[in-house]
Amino acid sequence: MTNVLILCTGNSCRSQMAEGYLRHFTGNKINIYSAGIETHGVNPRAIEIMRRDGIDISKQTSNNVSEYSSIPFDFVITVCDNARENCPWFSSKAIKLHQNFPDPAKASGSEEEITESFDAVRDMIKQYITKFVQQYLSGLR
């Protein structure tokens, strides 16, 4: 079975959203892991913003990348520059992909402005994961 790791700084927003969409688009046809260089817990705003798009990530957990050091990944996707720069070496044939998304947890302003930031990042991640599935995993459907 295909193993995919989505890696971010704190495994709280961007990687969690990407994991949610990847699970939604592929079902149980691949093994999906998300992790961070650190663990910050799943951000409640990320849970809510995904719920509004019909994806439940409330049961996902925030994990440290070191927990997965023995898994032979086929793909490692970094979703922020910090994770890319600090990504540990994996002794696998993993295809490494990178897309830097803004961190919605750092958004400031009114509640409406913060929500708009989360919405925008969620939509960027959804588009990226859709293309990833089409390009690399289309044979699973």
101 confidence band (pLDDT: 50, 70, 90):
very high
Residue 29 in this model has a pLDDT that exceeds 60:
yes
The predicted pLDDT at position 82 comes to 79
Residue 133 in this model has a pLDDT that exceeds 70:
yes
The mean predicted confidence, pLDDT, of the chain is: 92
Q: Which of 6, 65, 80, 121 is catalytic?
A: 80
13 is an active site residue: no
41: left (phi over 0), alpha (psi -120 to 50) or beta: left
Report CA-CA distances (Å) from 116 to 15, 42, 88, 109, 119: 18, 19, 32, 10, 5
Closest by Cα among 105, 134, 121 to 50: 121
Q: Which two tokens stand for residue 55?
A: 């994806």
Enumerate the domain spans of the chain: 3-140
**C-alpha 36, offset from chain centre:** 10
- Overall fold of domain 3-140: Rossmann fold (3.40.50)
Residue 141 in this model has a pLDDT that exceeds 80:
no
The predicted pLDDT at position 90 comes to 61
91 confidence band (pLDDT: 50, 70, 90):
low
Query: What mean pLDDT do residues 104-122 have?
Result: 96
Query: What mean pLDDT do residues 22-48 have?
Result: 94
Please list, in sequence order, all residues whose beta carbon lies within 8 angstroms of the beta carbon of residue 103, skipping any fewer than 6 positions away. Answer: 9, 13, 14, 80, 121
The predicted pLDDT at position 89 comes to 63
Q: Which two tokens stand for residue 28?
A: 């149980």
Produce one character per residue of 74-96: b if its CB has 16 or more CB atoms within 10 Å, e if not.
Answer: bbbbbbbebbbeebeebeeebee
80 is an active site residue: yes
Q: Which of 71, 87, 94, 97 is catalytic?
A: 87
Q: Which of 4, 5, 8, 77 is catalytic?
A: 8
Measured between alpha carbons, how far apart are the two ends of the chain, in Å? 14
CA 141 – CA 139 distance, rounded (Å): 6
Note the helical H segments in the chain: 14-26, 44-51, 81-86, 111-136
**pTM of structure:** 0.93
